[in-house]
């Protein structure tokens, strides 16, 4: 049985501020943020705004097909990145589980010759092979983010969009 954790939006904001504070205390201000699509997009936007950075790039990479069913290696779908040479790069995702995604993205970014690469996520699973440099909390549950709910419901039910009451029922159950 999968145990779910459904953080409220306020916890996400709290988590992002915590992560940004850790970077500032570390004297780390990135030149460029690389967001991992699609879960890293909103955290990347929040971190970018907190630091006053507008330079965001993207890497499209997919590992999980659904909850706890994974392909063997993350699959790189597309790389929307340029001008990283001699730049300080911060890779951002919502959560690290095995750490494979951060690892794969780090390897790609290395090829662009940045001066420094660091990574940040909101959460990390205790068993992750690679921990991000900055994170808010260690959690051993399956996290359903505020930006993830429809994705999770879609992947786990065949409720059509016009039956949206059913979506909400499912989400309420997941929250318990
Ligand atoms: P990893 O490569 O570290 O095993 O997994 C990281 C990727 O898998 C993240 O980009 C995220 O999209 C997805 N993922 C891993 N664990 C969770 C989770 O608990 N909740 C959600 N929503 N996505 C997860
Ligand atoms: Mg995701
Ligand atoms: Mg992802």
- ipTM value, please give it: 0.97
Per-residue pLDDT reduced to its tens digit, 33-76: 999 999 999 999 999 999 999 999 999 998 865 556 666 788 99
Q: Does 133 fall in a domain?
A: yes
Q: Does 93 fall in a domain?
A: yes
Q: 174: pLDDT confidence band, cut at 50, 70 and 90? A: low
Q: Quick check: CB of 133 below 6 Å from ligand 1?
A: no
pTM for this structure?
A: 0.90
Q: Does 117 fall in a domain?
A: yes
Q: Which residue in 174, 145, 125 sits closest to 40, CA to CA? A: 145
Q: Does 63 fall in a domain?
A: yes
Q: Does 41 fall in a domain?
A: yes
CA distance 143 to 25: 27
What CATH number did the domain enclosing 63 receive? 3.40.50.2020
CA 148 / ligand 2 centre spacing (Å): 7
**Closest ligand to residue 74's CA:** 1
Looking only at the bridges linking them, the beta strands covering 56-66 and 32-37 are parallel
Percent of the chain with pLDDT over 90: 73
Q: Does 172 fall in a domain?
A: no
Q: Does 84 fall in a domain?
A: yes
Which ligand 1 atom is the nearest neighbour of the CA of 142?
19
For the chain, the domain total comes to 1
User: Which distant-in-sequence residues (6+ apart) come within 8 Å of 173 by Cβ?
Assistant: none
CA distance 23 to 32: 14
Beta bridge partners of 25: none
Q: Does 166 fall in a domain?
A: no
User: Which distant-in-sequence residues (6+ apart) come within 8 Å of 120 by Cβ?
Assistant: 19, 23, 43, 47, 90, 91, 92, 132, 133, 134, 135
Domain that holds residue 124: 4-147
Q: Which residue in 82, 127, 128 sits closest to 101, CA to CA? A: 128
CA distance 138 to 97: 10
């Amino acid at each position: 049985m999968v145990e779910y954790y459904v953080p409220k939006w306020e916890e996400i904001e709290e988590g992002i501020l915590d992560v940004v504070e850790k970077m500032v205390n570390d004297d780390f201000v990135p030149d460029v943020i690389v967001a991992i699509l699609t879960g890293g997009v909103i955290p990347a936007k929040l971190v970018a705004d907190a630091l006053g950075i507008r330079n965001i790039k993207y890497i499209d990479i997919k590992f999980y097909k659904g909850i706890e069913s994974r392909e063997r290696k993350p699959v790189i779908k597309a790389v929307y990145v340029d001008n990283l040479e001699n730049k300080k790069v911060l890779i951002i995702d919502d959560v690290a589980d095995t750490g494979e995604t951060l690892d794969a993205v780090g390897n790609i970014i290395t090829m662009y010759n940045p001066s420094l690469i660091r990574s940040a996520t909101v959460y990390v699973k205790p068993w992750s092979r690679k921990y991000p440099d900055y994170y808010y909390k260690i959690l051993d549950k399956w996290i359903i983010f505020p930006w993830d709910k429809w994705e999770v419901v879609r992947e786990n039910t065949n409720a059509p969009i016009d039956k949206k009451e059913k979506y909400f029922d499912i989400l309420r159950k997941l929250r318990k």
